[in-house]
Each structure stands twice: as C-alpha cells, then as structure tokens.
Chain A
Amino acid sequence: MKLNRIGYPYLIWLGIFILIPLLLVTYFAFTTGDSQNFSTFSFSIENFEKFISPIYLGVLYRSVKLAFISTLICLVLGYPIALIISKEKPKIRNIMVLMLVIPMWMNFLLRTYAWLTLLGKNGILTKVLSFIGLEGVSLLYNDTAVLLGMVYNFLPFMVLPIFSVLTKMDNNLVEAAEDLGANRAEVFWKVIFPLSLPGVITGITMVFIPAVSTFVISGLLGGNKSTLIGNLIEQQFRYTGDWHFGSTMSIILMVFILASMALTSKFDKEKEGGGGGLW
C-alpha cells in the first residue's frame, strides 16, 4: 500500500512552518544589523557576547531557579493528590479528574489576573494575614507571587500524567510487596514511586518548560521587579526591535530546554520507542 505518500505534503508543511522559522531564528541570532532590512545583516557572535554579562546571565539564572522551585512545589503538592484520586472508585475518580481540567477552560490570563484581586491590598488573603498578625506583608509584585502563579497554572499538568500512570499500575505488585512484609513507606518508595517515574518525568517536563519561558505570569504578578528570560525576549521583539538579540536569547533558551529534556529522559528508562527518540 502506497499510503505513505500522502504524508509528503505534511513534510513540506513541517519544512516551511517549523524548520525554516527555526533556521531563521538561528540566522538572526548569529548576525547583527537593522532587524527590518536583510541587506544590512552581517555575521557576528556579538549577541552571544552581550548575553554573557552578569545582568543577562542573572535573569537566566532567576528564570531557571523560579521554574525549578515551582516544578518542585507542583511535584510535592501534586503527587499526593494524584495518588488520592487514583485510589478512588472509578465514578468519583472521573469526576475528580474532570474537576482538575475544568479550571483550564477559563482563560488562563483571566485566572492569573484574578490572583491580583486575591493578593492585592484589599484582597482576602492579605486580610487573613493581617488578621493573624502579619500586617503589611506584600503579597504582590514579588517572586513569591510569580511562584504562586506558576504553581497555580501548571499544577494540573503535574497531577494528570502521574495520575494516569498510577491508575494503570498493576495493584498485584503492591499487594505482593505487602505480603512479603513491606511496610507502607517501603511499599511507596520501593514499588509505587519507582513505577510512577514515567508520569513524574512527563509532569516535570510539562511544568518546567512553560514555567521557565513564561512572560505573562511574571508580567502580571511580578511587576517590573520580576524580569524573566521570557520578558526579555518579549521586549526585544515587541518593543526594542532588536530581533537579533531576541533570537540569541530564544536559541539559548531552546538549547537549554532541549538539553535538560535529554538529561531527564536518560532517567526515564521505560520510555517507549518510536516518537521523540532524539530527546
């Protein structure tokens, strides 16, 4: 059957809309000149040299740090809830999974924006804090607010993959471990957790990537003080107009993410072959 030929148009599509744009960004990254006029471009690694300065490296470090902490918080908060849901009866389980997905149907910008109301000066949380004696604690426009926004937005992405691995897990293995005298902690750390690792790794990937590259959450909740690498890229393309430096930062971000994915997938021995073998 010669059905594989009908895949060729998509090959052309991939070439035009995925490969060429990335090559263009790479080209922009290694050139300087007037971003609007291709004839002024000249090869240079100036942009990379510019990036290796305490200011920009500091921003990259902050982005990675915040994304790492938020991924960790999502894992610590999300794993127990995934475990709880997976042990419910199928009917309750389905409802709870649905309840994890439903919030995502409201525009994520609006949901993030709503935190401004909750955390603001007259917000409920500020009032609760001042009631218990923590008066004048600023909840908005700092790293804590950005972290909260990240955890809020990406928590379901951590819970769902872990949950789906846990429900497919063979319960006989847990029972076998119990029969052989393992206590509950041992059952968890030696049987359940190792078996759920593929889900954990998918979860980490799905939280870390959007967290490290966000500019919306930091822009809304972090105020001007909280600049992340995403904000820098946004500024270069939308306001400053230096597409070359913006492209350099995009390439650095992309290479960083692909490298860390390659590293994490090394731990993921059970990964199925086929798609994504490169990572």
Chain B
Amino acid sequence: MVNRNLKRLYTFLIFAFLYAPIIILIIYSFNDSKFRGDWSGFTLRWYAELFRDREVIRVLYYTFAIAITSSIISTVLGTVAAIGIHGMRGITKKSVLNLNYLPVLNPDIVTAVALMALFRMARLQFGFITLLLAHITFSVPYVVLSILPKLKQMNVHLAEAAMDLGATPMYALRKVVIPEIMPGIITGGLLAFTLSIDDFVISFFTTGHGISNLSIYIYSMARKGINPTINALSTLMFISLVALLLIINNRSEKSKKIIQERR
C-alpha cells in the first residue's frame, strides 16, 4: 500500500513538473499587469488585443503557411523517396539511409548553419523561400523513417500480383502500395507539421527580411519581456489542440463501441 502511494506521489510530482510552466502561462494570459511576476487582477484584454495586433497575426500567418506547405511537400517527397529507397539494394541503400539519418542525428544548430551557408552561396535572398526549403529539408527524413517500416511490413508479392493481373506500375502503386502504407504517410505528415510549427533553431538561421515564425518572434521578444498577447495566443492554440484531441479520442472510442456492439 505504501509502495503504491509512493508511486502515485512520484507520478504526480513528475506531471506537476511538466505542467507547472504551462499552467503559469495560462494564468498569466489573464493577468491585468503587463509585467510577469505581479498579479493585478483578471482581464481578457490580451485576448482582445490579440486580434488587433497586426504583427502577431502576420507571424501566425507565416507559421502556418510554412508548416502547411512544408509538411505537404515533405510528405509527398518523403513517400516517393521511401518507396524508392525500399526498392534499392546493397551499398546504394545503405548510403542513402545514412545520408537520410544525418539531419536526424546532427544537432539542429549544425544543420542550421550548413543550410545558411548553402543559401548564402547560392545567393538566395533569405526569407520565405529559404525558410520553406529549410523546413522541408529537416522534415523529409522523418517522413521517410515513418514510412519505411510500413513498407517492410507489406507483403512483397502484393504489388507484383497486381502487375501480373495487368496493372501498370503506376496503377499498382496508387491502388496497392499507397493504401498499404497510408498509416505511415499520415504519421509522417503529422510529424512534419509538428516539427515545422515548433522549430526555432533552423528557422532562426535561415530566415530574413522580417519573415518570422512564432518561435523567432518569441525569441526576439524574450530579452525585453514577452508581451502577454503571446501568452493569450499560446493558450488559445494549446486549448484548441487539446480539444481537437479529445474530440478525435471520443469519436474513435464511439466507433470502437459501435464495432463491438455489431459483433
């Protein structure tokens, strides 16, 4: 019994540690004072100001524009790449896989300065395009890595059977291979989206000309003190994500129940 309570206490402490800053952020998004640390009453004005703040809206626009575009492109590129890599053999396969692993293993800051050097050498203007290319670059390897296991699990003869029955390779790919690896593609795409939304280090080095995503904007404000509108914005984003999750969870529970009842 003592042991069990000890476990509960420990679990509670760890989760308290993980959630303490989030709770603080949410509380301070309702704080009437502009300075962190002192509480001077409940207000909703940061939420109202959020929708009037052009800068914040612009930052939000770029964050989502980059995340959506880069995750779509890297999902397509990663899917094609994974299918290609799966068909490779020997040394080619091994070296491609190792090259693919590099951005995953390399510290973000090294990937960031390497891309910065590339864009400078190619004389690209730092801004939206460089930011987008950088995000695709660090996302694709994760998409490839989430699809490859699904390809390994797939029955090798499925695509061959389809082609024996007269399907062209493209048709077999579309109707047999892609549906088989769909869970991997979805995981990869979601991963790419999350990585892009949350990225700071690589974006920080590869952007320019006033194009900022949320992380860069927060970092630039951190020294002088973060505007409470950002707290309000993150609270809204956080709560909508959790709500979305609960809805999805609820729906899948319901569909599970329906399936069980039918049986």
Contact = CB atoms under 8 A, between A and B. Distances in A.
A113 B22 contact: no
B186 interface: no
Contacts, number: 228
A109 B215 contact: yes
B218 A275 contact: no
A8 B84 contact: yes
Interface string B29-55: 000000011100000000000000000
Given A6-B80, A117-B37, A247 B21 contact: no
B80 A9 contact: yes
Given A18-B102, A22-B114, A110-B226, A275 B97 contact: yes
B117 A277 contact: no
Contact of B98 (A9, A213, A233, A278): A278
Interface size class, chain B: 35 or more
Interface stretch (A119-127, A161-169, A171-179, A191-199): A119-127
Nearest to A5: B84
A33 B171 CA distance: 55
Interface size class, chain A: 35 or more
A239 interface: no
B87 interface: yes
A99 B11 CA distance: 11
B140 interface: yes
Interface in B52-102: 77, 80-81, 83-89, 94, 96-102
A69 interface: no
Interface stretch (A48-56, A129-137, A253-261): A253-261
A215 B222 contact: no
Interface string B100-128: 11110111111101111110010000000
A146 interface: no
B7 interface: yes
Given A250-B110, A257-B107, A279 B101 contact: yes
Interface string A259-279: 001000000000000111111
Given A5-B84, A7-B87, A261-B105, A275 B145 contact: yes
Nearest to A274: B97
A90 interface: no
A157 interface: no
Given A107-B234, A209-B107, A7 B117 contact: no
Contact of A103 (B22, B86, B102): B22
A117 B222 CA distance: 12
Contacts of A17: 115, 118, 133, 136-137
B129 interface: no
Interface string B135-147: 0110010001100
A16 B115 CA distance: 10
Contacts of A81: 10-11, 14
B228 to A, nearest CB: 12
Interface of B: 7, 10-11, 14-15, 17-22, 24-25, 28, 36-38, 77, 80-81, 83-89, 94, 96-103, 105-111, 113-118, 121, 133, 136-137, 140, 144-145, 148, 159-160, 163, 169, 173, 194, 198, 200-201, 204-205, 214-215, 218-219, 222, 226, 230-231, 234, 237-238, 241-242, 245
Given A152-B21, A275-B97, 17 more contacts: A3-B173, A6-B83, A10-B144, A17-B115, A19-B99, A20-B118, A25-B114, A106-B234, A106-B238, A107-B218, A111-B25, A117-B28, A216-B200, A234-B109, A237-B113, A277-B97, A279-B101
Interface of A: 1-11, 13-14, 16-22, 24-25, 28, 38, 77, 80-81, 84, 96, 98-100, 102-118, 120-123, 152, 155-156, 205, 209-210, 212-213, 215-216, 220, 230, 233-234, 237-238, 243, 246-247, 250, 253-254, 257-258, 261, 274-279
29 contacts: A1-B163, A3-B83, A3-B84, A4-B86, A6-B80, A10-B84, A10-B85, A13-B77, A17-B115, A18-B99, A77-B14, A81-B14, A100-B18, A103-B22, A105-B241, A108-B198, A117-B24, A118-B20, A118-B24, A152-B21, A210-B108, A213-B109, A215-B109, A216-B201, A250-B114, A254-B110, A261-B105, A275-B100, A276-B105
